Homo-oligomer: A and B are copies of this chain.
Amino acid sequence: MEVNRLSALTPPMGWNSWDCYGASVTEEEVLGNAEYMANHLKKYGWEYIVVDIQWYEPTANSSAYNPFAPLCMDEYGRLLPATNRFPSAKNGAGFKPLSDAIHDLGLKFGIHIMRGIPRQAVYENSPVLGSTKTAREIAHTNSICPWNTDMYGVDPTKEGAQSYYNSLFELYAQWGVDFVKVDDIAASRLYDTHLEEIKMIQRAIQACGRPMVLSLSPGPAPIKYAHHFKTNANMWRITDDFWDDWSLLYQMFERCEVWEKHIGTGHWPDCDMLPLGHIGIRSVDGPGGDRWTRFTKDEQLTMMNLWAICRSPLMFGGELRDNDEWTLSLLTNEGILSINQKSVLNRFVYREEDKVAWAANGRNGEAYVALFNLHDQQKTLQFRLDMVGIMETVQLFNVWDRSFLQSLAPSESFQIELKPHQSMMLKLSPDR
Contacts and interface: CB of A to CB of B under 8 A. Distances in A.
Interface of A: 65, 67-68, 119-120, 122-123, 125, 136, 139, 141-142, 144-149, 190, 227, 261, 264-265, 344-345, 347-350, 352, 361, 363, 365, 384, 386-391
Give the number of copies in the complex.
Answer: 4
A227 B352 contact: yes
Given A144-B144, A147-B142, A386-B265, A345 B344 contact: no
B348 A261 contact: yes
B142 A146 contact: yes
Contacts of A148: 141
Interface secondary structure of A, over-half rule: mixed
Given A142-B144, A147-B142, A386 B349 contact: no
B264 A386 contact: yes
14 contacts: A65-B141, A67-B136, A68-B123, A68-B136, A120-B123, A141-B147, A142-B144, A142-B147, A144-B144, A264-B386, A344-B390, A345-B388, A347-B347, A361-B389
A359 to B, nearest CB: 9
A331 to B, nearest CB: 25
Given A141-B149, A142-B146, A344-B389, 16 more contacts: A65-B141, A68-B123, A68-B125, A68-B139, A123-B123, A141-B148, A142-B145, A142-B149, A142-B190, A261-B348, A264-B386, A265-B384, A344-B391, A345-B345, A361-B389, A363-B391
Nearest to A367: B345
Contacts of A122: 68
A125 B120 CA distance: 13
A265 B122 CA distance: 47
Contacts of A142: 144-147, 149, 190
Nearest to A392: B363
A46 to B, nearest CB: 22
A227 B351 CA distance: 10
